[in-house]
Amino acid sequence: MSDLATEDDIARARSDPEFRQQLLAHNLERLLAALNHMRKNNDKDPVSVRQIKEGVDLAVKLADRLHQKDRKPGPKVA
């Protein structure tokens, strides 16, 4: 599995509950590892903090996208 979820991964995850669980678990493990690394290093660098916040936002967005069963294309918010 690649580092980032592709559109194909997301489509597969919608129809394959086992793959969806693996995809979520993999991405949550990566997020937790990064957070743990920051905690151990007492990393308060603003760039690192921003990147972790972005990672959390992406993890939430991924989970939301995976839970949308009948996603219909519509206008994208900028």
**What integer pLDDT is reported at residue 26 of this predicted model?**
86
Mean pLDDT, residues 50-74 taken together: 73
The pLDDT of residue 8 is 92
pLDDT in tens, 6-51: 889 988 988 998 998 898 888 888 888 877 887 788 777 888 888 8
Is pLDDT above 80 for 4? no
DSSP assignment letter at 75: P
Domain ranges (residues) in the chain: 7-67
Give pTM, 2 decimals: 0.56
Which pLDDT does position 2 carry in this prediction?
A: 47
DSSP type of residue 69: T
Euclidean distance between CA atoms 56 and 35, whole angstroms:
10
